[in-house]
Amino acid sequence: MIVRRFASSFSAKPGGFKLPPTIRQLLASPHTPAPDAPPITVSGWIKSIRRQKNVAFAVLTDGSSPQGLQAVFVGNGDGVKALTNGAAVRLTGKLVPSPGAGQDKELLVDLGKAGESGAKGEVRVLGSCDPEIYPIQKQALSTEYLRDHSHLRARTDAIAAMIRLRDALKKNISTFFDEQGFVYTHTPVLTGNDAEGAGEAFQIAEIPSAQHPASVLLPSSPSSSPSPSSSPAAPTATATAAPSPLGGTLAHEKEFFSRPAHLTVSHQLHLEALATALARVYTLSPCFRAERSQTGRHLAEFWMLEAEWVQAGGVGETCDFVEACVRKVVGGLVHGGSGELEVLWRGGEGSRRQAMSDAVKPDGKPWKRMTYTEAVEALEAEHARTKKFEYEPRWGRALQSEHERWLAETFVKGPVFVTDYPAVLKPFYMRRNCSASGAEDRDRETVACFDLLVPHVGELVGGSVREERPSVLESRMREAFGEAGVREYEWYLDLRRYGGAPHVGFGMGFERLVGWVGGIENVRECVPFPRWAGRMLL
Amino acid sequence: MIVRRFASSFSAKPGGFKLPPTIRQLLASPHTPAPDAPPITVSGWIKSIRRQKNVAFAVLTDGSSPQGLQAVFVGNGDGVKALTNGAAVRLTGKLVPSPGAGQDKELLVDLGKAGESGAKGEVRVLGSCDPEIYPIQKQALSTEYLRDHSHLRARTDAIAAMIRLRDALKKNISTFFDEQGFVYTHTPVLTGNDAEGAGEAFQIAEIPSAQHPASVLLPSSPSSSPSPSSSPAAPTATATAAPSPLGGTLAHEKEFFSRPAHLTVSHQLHLEALATALARVYTLSPCFRAERSQTGRHLAEFWMLEAEWVQAGGVGETCDFVEACVRKVVGGLVHGGSGELEVLWRGGEGSRRQAMSDAVKPDGKPWKRMTYTEAVEALEAEHARTKKFEYEPRWGRALQSEHERWLAETFVKGPVFVTDYPAVLKPFYMRRNCSASGAEDRDRETVACFDLLVPHVGELVGGSVREERPSVLESRMREAFGEAGVREYEWYLDLRRYGGAPHVGFGMGFERLVGWVGGIENVRECVPFPRWAGRMLL
């Protein structure tokens, strides 16, 4: 009985629901509008309006496309009075071939009596916008002003184009990794790792006692005090209740997870755990660093493309893969014709754009590669001649941003892989290169790693062969963090102890990629809602 | 001169690098292996091995596929001694048609002298695995044991299948939203919102003073003390330095962002800001709740599909869209034939799987819809008859999990949309339904919202029409959090003040979707590295 009462509200088209076309979809359609086609309805915001005596012209945007839809209003002028910059409107009219320059099609909205063109047009204001106080005025707004209005800045052409560029790059990334047989995985943001104690990881605050019933947070079941390292003796039983160094002790009774929790600075270690099961994995996930540097290349919250996969080929093949990845992801966009890039590079340096575009040409030259040692030699030679660097380049020292940019912009004039950095500069998980001579100086030891440097960005990608030998890895960990650190990362050693396959991986800062491709100076304009030291809106 | 030295290490194939096929790709190829095809090399892990006198059989997996590759070793038996469960190996052999049941192709590895079959096979152990102590034994391992070994559990068939299922669902989601004209956006994890003070949001710890130079964190530039609400007077100048209630005051000098930062509980509000610029936006992003409930449906870190789009059609059309989304995303997988589902439903209830599958049949019945009022009537009638519910159903009370499950599993026997809940039960941003009679009791007011309930999961999706009228929204905010709350959400009101278009949105718990489709009891087995109160490994 009750069932019958609401039978009438069932949808008639369960799987076929389709939203009306966006302006991008309308403009992309190759068909010339037919004269007898039925009227269409389009929603969006007024970007500009120009009124003449019996006709008015407006540009309508719905944010789907760098190009707006021109709407031409004829007849009764009352209907267009409320059309002001920023107003949300719904227009009904006919899509017709445009006689004007700059567009193939336009929307004819005939407000005349019964529609003199044969179809009655309609204008409906969905949300008005007072042009006197609208914060997003048509004249150029400063970058800083727009940062202060981050909730509204996606209404500007450039920020909207950047957001769509992110979407397009993400799609190309998915396609590339799919073809290469990778699985997309969701690795955690909350982690017990604290970036090896480097102090760059945000920490989760303790829970106030009032909100924190110990009975819930310190359950007495042994399974809540886990020892994640191998306990091979009893595979079908739960882990033993021995207090592990990782959590579940009284010292952490105010912690939600019974141990300190941090925001991850990289998904690499978790991806490695999955790569030892699924062979090829990747993710595009948020990472966090409590960085205090106020540069144009750092954010406190950023997105990183990270991949790990089983491969025995060493650094050379890893660079081959990364080069293929960046060329496909960026090249498809740059050479496929992207209206977003036209918007973003407007007013930018043509030569920079050309260099970026040339770098990813399908038949272009392979990217240059040099070892760290060769890079330092080149830097030293340049410095001896010109004294141009603030930091003197020397073997064993980190490459500074000025060095990286000189290598890519001046010396190589394009993307360059720098490989085999000194071991002392790099983290414990990078594979130590075997020295040809046994008596080589330990300080000259290098690891099988690479950075990809690109002009005007510097480091875009960093990666390495991962140390797969359990004994070498363990001794590097002991050097780096002592015995307690080794215990904390027992699980990471387990990955090598049990069928550890040689594997490699890399990380690419997504905002830096967006900046390189879009010619955007500062990563704060490469993400919708940027966060950095002292600043977090919304 | 220096340039010439490393010219020899350039890659010969910049864009064309391709990893060798995965086992999934090999098995999916429709070609019958040709007798004269060259040998191939495959890497992976040994899942099982069976030795006979002159021949051995192993199943090799690389995690790409629910099905392993059968390898047949003939000839010299020494090569196969090190092949133990879990060992990482690289095999070279010939892909040949398989005479055995269960597979079309197998890998023939001929270790005989010079390869009696015509091609020399090779076995190389990349990483050994001691079968005596390997934590992932072949016999069934308990769910709890595997949670304790989360770094290794992706090596089991079920967890690997779940991770690939996530990937497949994510791909279908991308395809669906692309077709509907949506833009994928990256909204922030760190936010000033604290879930309207509900106490469920994790907070970022303050920075210890020693690490916290005030000069960096409290810069003197006015732009670091932003007022995110509209300051329309001077659009080309930076915002004024007046201390805002949101941050930048001495009270927050230990905060990295000069104001308290939380982990987002939902991306909705940020998506709404983007939807007022890009019209149709969605994201699949991590969300966080400091939930203490130890149920099979809650995680402290989970992934949520969220979408917001401009639409004036009300709850009915929103349900149409959600139904189309779930049907396409799930139906493509269920009816396209998925080896992952075979693994995951092994041992599961056939009738549950059938019901899930039937619900997303392309020509199936539309999903039922009923109002909250109708749902409560049905629950009350059932309770009067059977007294079966722990919580007595009554109008104005929240639906409990037992109520939701009874509605979906028993009453409707399938997915059901419950719409128009009482306003007092729902958040401020949901659109208040206009009452037909002006004198209606305020307590009976409802909002234009819906929950999608599915059998054995309960709430899978929740969504609503968003309140687009600035004055109604502001008064609801004032009721909910008082004057300070209204000031804090000025930016959210701005979205309506300036060209606010009617829009709708929803959120779907991704782990619950995975659980429903895969027949997985607990969301802790629906994500690679689960986190909940008292538990965070790795």
CB A364 within 8 A of CB A334: no
In chain B, what residues touch A206 (CB-CB under 8 Å)?
205
Report the largest interatomic distance among the alpha carbons of chain A, rounded to a whole angstrom: 95
Using an 8 Å CB-CB cutoff, list chain B residues near A126: 312, 500-502
Mutant choice from B498, B506, B511 vs A, greatest count of A C-beta within 10 A: B498
B282 touches A at CB < 8 Å: no
Cross-chain Cβ contact B86/A498 below 8 Å: yes
Q: Is the pLDDT of residue B176 over 50?
A: yes
Within 8 A by CB and 6+ apart from B297, the residues are B401, B457, B458, B512, B523
Residues of A in contact with B497 (CB under 8 A): 129
Is the Cβ pair B528, A309 closer than 8 Å? no
A511 contacts in chain B (CB < 8 Å): none
- Measured between alpha carbons, how far is B91 from B98 in angstroms, rounded to an integer? 17
Question: What single-letter DSSP state applies at residue B534?
Answer: T
CA–CA gap between residue B485 and residue B475 (Å, rounded):
11
pLDDT at residue A79, rounded to an integer: 75
In b/e form, how buried is each residue of B280-292, taking b as 16+ CB within 10 angstroms?
A: bbbbbbbbbbbbb
Residue-wise pLDDT tens digits, B251-299: 677 899 999 999 999 999 999 999 999 999 999 999 999 988 888 889 9
Chain-chain contact of B331 with A248 (C-beta, under 8 angstroms): no
CA distance B315 to chain A (A): 11
Identity of the residue in A62, A86, A211 whose CB atom sits nearest the CB atom of B498: A86
**Contact across the interface for A136 and B235, Cβ inside 8 Å:** yes
Cα distance between the two ends of chain A: 49
Tell me whether A82 touches chain B (CB under 8 Å).
Answer: no
Query: Is B406 an 8 Å CB contact of chain A?
Result: no
pLDDT band at B14 (very low <50, low <70, confident <90, very high): low
What is the C-alpha separation between B295 and B322, in angstroms, rounded? 26
Rg of chain A taking only CA atoms, in angstroms? 29
Contact between B216 and A86 using a beta-carbon 8 Å cutoff: no
User: Which of B17, B237, B502 is the closest to A324 by Cβ?
Assistant: B17
Residue A78 has a pLDDT of 74
Q: What is the DSSP string of B214-264?
A: HHHHS-SSGGGS---S--TT-TTSPPP-PPBTTB-SGGGTTSTTSS--EE-
* Residue ranges with strand state E in B260-401: 262-263, 280-288, 301-310, 368-371
Q: Which amino acid is at A267?
A: H
From A362, which residue of chain B is nearest by alpha-carbon distance?
A: B15
Among A498-502, B26-30, B326-330, B357-361, which is the least confidently predicted range? B26-30
Q: What mean pLDDT comes out for the span B511-528?
A: 97
The upper half-sphere exposure of residue A77, i.e. CA atoms within 13 Å in the direction of its Cβ, equals 8
Question: Pairing state of beta strands B301-310 and B280-288?
Answer: antiparallel
Q: How many CB atoms lie within 10 A of CB B10?
A: 13
What ipTM describes this predicted complex? 0.90
Q: Does B493 touch chain A (CB under 8 A)?
A: no
Q: Distances from the Cα of A489 to the Cαs of A244, A251, A474, in angstroms? A: 12, 20, 9
- Interface check A180 vs B, CB under 8 A: yes
> Is there a contact between A136 and B45 if contact means CB atoms under 8 Å apart?
no
Distance in Å, alpha carbon of B232 to nearest chain A alpha carbon: 5
CA distance B130 to chain A (A): 7
Picking from A252, A498, A510 by the largest number of B CB atoms within 10 A of its own CB, the best residue to mutate is A498
Instruction: Give A42's DSSP letter.
Output: E
Whole-number Å distance between alpha carbons of A62 and A51: 21
Classify A255 as helix, strand or coil. Answer: coil
Best mutation target, A11, A90, A191, to test chain B (most B CBs within 10 A):
A11
Is A529 in contact with B276 (Cβ distance < 8 A)? no
Interface residue B491 vs chain A (CB under 8 A): yes
* Contact between chains at A538 and B269 (C-beta distance less than 8 A): yes
- C-beta of residue A529 within 8 angstroms of C-beta of residue A299: no
B185: chain A residues, CB-CB within 8 Å: 163, 166-167, 528
Q: What pLDDT tens digit does each residue of chain A (538 aa) get?
A: 333 333 333 344 566 789 999 999 999 988 777 888 889 999 999 999 999 888 999 999 999 999 999 999 998 767 788 899 999 999 999 999 998 888 899 999 999 876 666 678 999 999 999 999 999 998 889 999 999 999 999 999 999 999 999 999 999 999 999 999 999 999 999 999 876 666 789 999 987 654 544 333 333 333 333 333 333 333 333 333 333 334 444 567 789 999 999 999 999 999 999 999 999 999 999 999 998 888 888 999 999 999 999 998 899 999 999 999 999 999 999 998 889 999 999 988 889 999 999 999 988 899 999 999 999 999 999 999 999 999 999 999 999 999 999 999 999 999 999 999 999 999 999 999 975 455 456 678 999 999 999 999 999 999 999 999 999 999 999 998 889 889 989 999 999 999 999 999 999 999 999 999 999 999 999 999 999 999 999 9
Q: Which two tokens stand for residue A67?
A: 């190009």
Q: What pairing do the DSSP bridges indicate for beta strands B280-288 and B183-184?
A: parallel
Residue type, A537: L
B461 to chain A nearest CA, in Å?
Answer: 16
> Is the Cβ–Cβ distance between A491 and A468 less than 8 Å?
no
A538 and chain B in contact, CB less than 8 A: yes
Question: HEC states along B87-126?
Answer: CEEEEEEEEEECCCCCCCEEEEEECCCCCCCCCCCEEEEE
Predicted confidence at residue A313, as pLDDT, reads 86
Nearest-neighbour CA in chain B from A122: distance (Å): 16
* pLDDT computed for residue B239 by the predictor: 32
Q: Which residue of B lies nearest to A490 if distances are taken between CA atoms?
A: B538
Nearest residue on chain A to B493, judged by CA atoms? A151
> Is B166 part of the contact surface with chain A (CB cutoff 8 Å)?
yes
Give chain A's length: 538
**CB contact, 8 Å: B417 with chain A?**
no
- The pTM for the full model equals 0.90
Nearest Cβ partner for B278 among A87, A154, A411: A154
Asked if B500 is an interface residue toward chain A (Cβ–Cβ < 8 A), one would say yes
Rounded CA-CA distance A185/A179 in Å is: 16
For residue A224, give the nearest of B205, B247, B534 by CB distance. Answer: B534
Question: Which residue's entry shows tokens 């105010």?
Answer: A254
Which tens digits make up the pLDDT trace of A107-153? 999 998 766 666 789 999 999 999 999 999 988 899 999 999 999 99
CB A122 within 8 A of CB A88: no
Q: Do A258 and B534 touch (CB under 8 A)?
A: yes
Q: Are B222 and B239 in contact (CB under 8 A)?
A: yes
- Nearest one of B105, B111, B120 to B83, comparing CA atoms: B111
Residues forming beta bridges with residue A430, ordered by sequence position: A466
Integer Cα distance of B295 and B437 in angstroms: 42
Task: Average the pLDDT over each of A141-150, B222-231, B439-448 and give the range with the smallest value.
Answer: B222-231
CA dihedral B332, B338, B344, B346 (to 10 degrees): 120
The answer on pLDDT for B244 being more than 70 is no
Residue with tokens 């755990």: A273
Contacts of B194 in chain A (CB under 8 A): none
Nearest to A2 among B44, B216, B377 (CB): B377
Out of A63, A300, A319, name the one closest to residue B11 (CB): A319
| 3-class secondary structure, A449 | strand
| B413 interfaces chain A, CB cutoff of 8 Å | no
Beta-strand pair B69-74/B122-127: unpaired
Question: CA of A65: which chain B residue's CA is closest?
Answer: B278
Question: Which residue in chain A has the smallest CA separation from B470?
Answer: A127
Stretch 430-459 of chain B: residues touching chain A, C-beta under 8 Å: none
B272 contacts B497 by C-beta, under 8 angstroms = no
Is some CB atom of chain B closer than 8 A to the CB atom of A65? no
CB pairs under 8 A between A and B: 550
pLDDT of residue B195: 62
Enter the DSSP assignment of B286: E
d(CA A527, CA A304): 12
For residue A214, the model assigns a pLDDT of 37
Alpha carbon distance A287, A302 (integer Å): 5
Chain B's closest residue to A304, CA to CA, is: B186
Residues A365-394 have pLDDT tens digits of: 999 999 999 999 999 999 999 999 999 999
